[in-house]
Structure 1
Amino acid sequence: MMVEEIKLIDYRNYKQLQLQFHPKLNIFVGENAQGKTNILEALYLCAIGKSFRTSKDQELVKILKDHAYIKTTISKTTDKTEIEILINKESSKRIKINKLSLTKYGDLLGNLNVVLFSPEDLKIIKEGPSERRRFINNDISQILPRYYHTLTQYNKILQQRNKVLKNYKGKTLDLEVWDEQLIERGAWLIVYRKKFIKRIAILAKLMHKKITEGLELLEVQYDSNIKIKEEDELKDIKEKFKQALKEIKPLEEKRGLTLVGPHRDDLIFKINGLEVKTYGSQGQQRTTVLSLKLAELELMRGEVGEYPILLLDDVMSELDKKRQNYLIKNLKNVQTFITTTMMEPLNIKSQEEYKLFSVCNGEINRLSLK
């Protein structure tokens, strides 16, 4: 899988831009706030349907303009796909795939698979469970679009159930209908997550072992507040979910909030038995995220048959030379887009396997290393 070209009109600080990409490595060099990350953001938008930097689409439109336009051409083993996104300041964005308008946002997922690695990804380790759930949801949705649909349904049911609980005023509270729907969707989410986390845990463990030359053992564990077991199947999960809701109902009535379910799931990362969030050094936290990102690449390749594209947003300066070299070495079969303020840390010598772009104030020029 590779992106052949991108076209931008009035997107962020770009008035009009059209770029053809190298099938392996594309490097964008420039000072901060010049527009490097905007290219990666546009590619991510074509894969996920939303920005990784803002939840407000209107921020993607160039100042003093009414709409922005993105077009990407993607080449796969079997065919080519053209994705177009029109972002309006006053209405919802419109998405087309091969000239056909999408009626459901979820239909975009899977047409372009991406793995994003940015300094913000340290939040996966350092911050709260919502960051780790976002990581899980984004990855599984790309691999398995029906997961996204199930997640959307679950969140709608959860919202309605919370509304009923919030309006509880000591009256008789009948949650049976909402409970049945919540359990049905939620149990499937847990099944999907169990499978995903089991596979990525194995891959991340292998990656981490190689990076640390066997000195560290990384564990990735699924932390469900329903307290499921590894051997539990769908029917077991449904029964445990039902029992958990029954036991916590008095507290939910008191707090006006649904307190159990996959919306409260978490991941635990351990190195040599110690939790990385609490006891890991900054270097260990960065290596954990790097291992996780490399594991994502392999997992997606295994599921869809092709490597996704990799977006590296200003992360090379965050890694020491050993980890930089390991990362570059493992990207031979992956189309990669790198933003950086300087070329030196990349240690790339062959001019035949990359395109180098200079970015300055919304203008991009092709360069060559001397």
Structure 2
Amino acid sequence: MYLEHLSLTDFRSYAQVDLTLSPGVTVLVGSNGLGKTNLVESIGYLSTLSSHRVSQDGPLLRFGTDRALIRAQLVRAEQKVMVEVEINASRANRARINRANPVRARDILGLCRTVLFAPEDLALVKGDPGNRRRFLDDLLVVLLPRHAGTRSDYDRVLKQRNALLKSARSQHFSRSGVSESNLSTLDVWDEHMALAAAQLLAARLELLNRLRPHMAQAYAQLTDGSKVLRAIYRSSLQPIARHDDDSPHNADEPPGGGADENQDADDFLQCTVAELTEKYRTELLSSRIRELERGMSLTGPHRDELELFLGEAPVRGYASHGESWSIALALRLASFHVLDEDKHVEGNQPILILDDVFAELDAQRRRKLALMVASAEQVLVTAAVIGDIPEELSGSTIHVIPGGVAPNE
């Protein structure tokens, strides 16, 4: 797959910009602050319907406007498809495929596959567990768009259940004072929660199982290979993963979470969704008193952690800055290979986007990365100066200027 044409209207800093691209390597070069990242951000948005820079859509609209439009002409094998998404300030976003009638924005998921690496990806290594959970969930949506529903269903159930628990807590809950009606309502939400949690956990574990060999290989190729990158999934279904912080979406890793493989959630890979649902039912029931006292859901994928290790040492707190960059790159390169292996749609290799990556790498790692990605069908690279790009990534160059791009000479 490659992007043949990109058109933006009122997206970020651009009132209007049109970009013609070709397969192979394209470097977007220009001084910092001119909008290089805005261009690649829009392409990434088509892939996940979210930005890698902000959590809400508001900042994506050019200041003073109430809607933005992203239009892309994609080429997959011998077929072309036009994808449009309209980002709205005051109503639901809409999309079009091949200029047909508007559809839900999520209906375009899977049409534009991208893997985007940006400086913000250091948060995958150094940030809180929520960043790593989002990494898995965003990749799930790109790989299997139906999991957009899996994730939204879980988020909806979690929000409703937390509201009920918070309400019970605010009514001066005591162990003997909870009403039968509240318990009955909680029973209903526990059923919804158990099923939605089981579906999301099963999807994450299957995805991680596919990512692991590619993560290890990519990290070894980027470095001298003396340390092995590993990933361990800690589920809140496991006793070691229980923790009672007040911010479950930004929970730190569970106490005592060392590199003991026996505490990994890999055993759950053998479980069916029905079996995981039953495990969640049991755990939710055993946690009920604590949850009513705390006014929040203490069990579920929103409290899980993806722990990263170099050898036996946890990455957080031990990895150097250079190692952290290589780990983040390895995660994205692994994503690229998992998507590339997915052959459900012919010609569906993802577009690889490297946003301001090479300025942070030494010469040796620049060359290694360039050799690893140069053969991709389409690679889009941004850089402040063309000298940061290794010669192995020679290709087309587009100069970004204030408000747009310079015409081709």
TM-score range, shorter chain: over 0.9
Within 2, Cα distance between the matches of 1:253 and 1:345?
55
**Other structure's SS at 2:406 match:** strand
State the partner residue of 1:262: 301
Task: Please state if 1:233 is matched with 2:244.
Answer: no
Provide the C-alpha distance between the structure 2 equivalents of 1:106 and 1:87, rounded to a whole number of angstroms: 12
Would the alpha carbon gap of residues 160 and 310 (structure 1) be closer, same or farther in structure 2, given more than 3 Å must change?
same
2:323 matched to 1:284?
Answer: yes
Match of 1:358 among 399, 402, 405: 399
After TM superposition, the structure 1 stretch with the greater mean CA deviation from structure 2, 175-184 or 53-62, is: 53-62
Tell whether 2:308 aligns with 1:297.
no
Cα distance in 1, alignment partners of residues 296 and 393 from structure 2: 57
2:64 and 2:277 map into 1 onto residues whose CA distance is 52
Q: CA separation in 2, counterparts of 1:67 and 1:260? A: 38
Structure 2 counterpart SS, 1:33: coil
Superimposed CA distance per residue, residues 323-344 of structure 1 (whole angstroms, 9 cap, x where no aligned partner): 2112111221241111111111
Q: Check whether the contact 1:209–1:217 (CA below 8 A) recurs between aligned residues.
A: yes
Change (3 A) 1:88 1:236: closer
Displacement of 1:102 in angstroms is 4.9
Check the 8 A contact 2:8/2:14 in 1, yes or no: yes
Q: Secondary structure at the match of 1:112?
A: coil
Report matched runs for 1:174-189 at 5 Å. Answer: 174=184, 175-189=186-200
Measured in 1, the distance between the counterparts of 2:305 and 2:135 equals 10
User: Which residue number in structure 2 is paired with residue 129 of structure 1?
Assistant: 129
Amino acid at match of 2:216: K
Give 1:252's match in structure 2, choosing from 270, 281, 291: 291
**Which residue does the alignment assign to 1:218?**
229
* Whole-angstrom distance in 2 between the partners of 1:350 and 1:27: 9
SS of residue in 2 equivalent to 1:188: helix
Cα separation, partners in 2 of 1:226 and 1:349, compared to 1, 3 Å? closer
Q: Which amino acid in the other structure matches residue 70 of structure 1?
A: I
TM-score when normalising by structure 1: 0.93
- Alignment-derived partner of residue 340 in structure 1: 383
Measure the CA separation in 2 of the matches of 1:274 and 1:100.
Answer: 53
1:162 positional shift: 0.9
Alignment correspondent of 1:191: 202
The answer to whether residue 347 in structure 2 is matched with residue 309 in structure 1 is no
User: Partner amino acid for 1:307?
Assistant: Q
What is the identity percentage for the equivalent residue pairs of Structure 1 and Structure 2? Answer: 30
Which of 311, 318, 332 matches 2:360?
318
Secondary structure, aligned partner of 1:330:
helix
Q: Per the alignment, do residues 273 and 366 of structure 1 end up closer, same or farther by CA in structure 2, a change over 3 Å counting?
A: farther
Task: Report if aligned partners of 2:221, 2:368 keep a CA contact under 8 Å in 1.
Answer: no
What is the SS of the residue equivalent to 2:84? Answer: strand
DSSP 3-state at the match of 1:279: coil
> Can you list the C-alpha shifts for 1:186-224, whole angstroms capped at 9, x where unaligned?
111111111100110111011112222331111011111
Q: Which runs of 5+ in 2 are unaligned?
A: 239-264
Note if contact 1:355-1:366 (Cα within 8 Å) is conserved in structure 2: no
TM-superposed CA distance for 1:350, in Å, is 7.4
AA of the residue aligned to 1:314 = D
**TM-score, normalised to structure 2's length?**
0.85
**For 1:107, what is the secondary structure of its paired residue?**
helix
Whether the 8 Å contact between 2:95 and 2:104 is mirrored in structure 1 is no
d(CA) in 2 for partners of 1:44, 1:229: 31
Aligned residues between the structures? 366
Q: Deviations over 1:161-202 (max 9, x none)?
A: 111111113323232111111111211111111110011011
Report whether the alignment pairs 1:111 with 2:111. Answer: yes
3-state SS of the aligned residue for 2:236?
coil
User: Does structure 1 residue 209 correspond to structure 2 residue 217?
Assistant: no
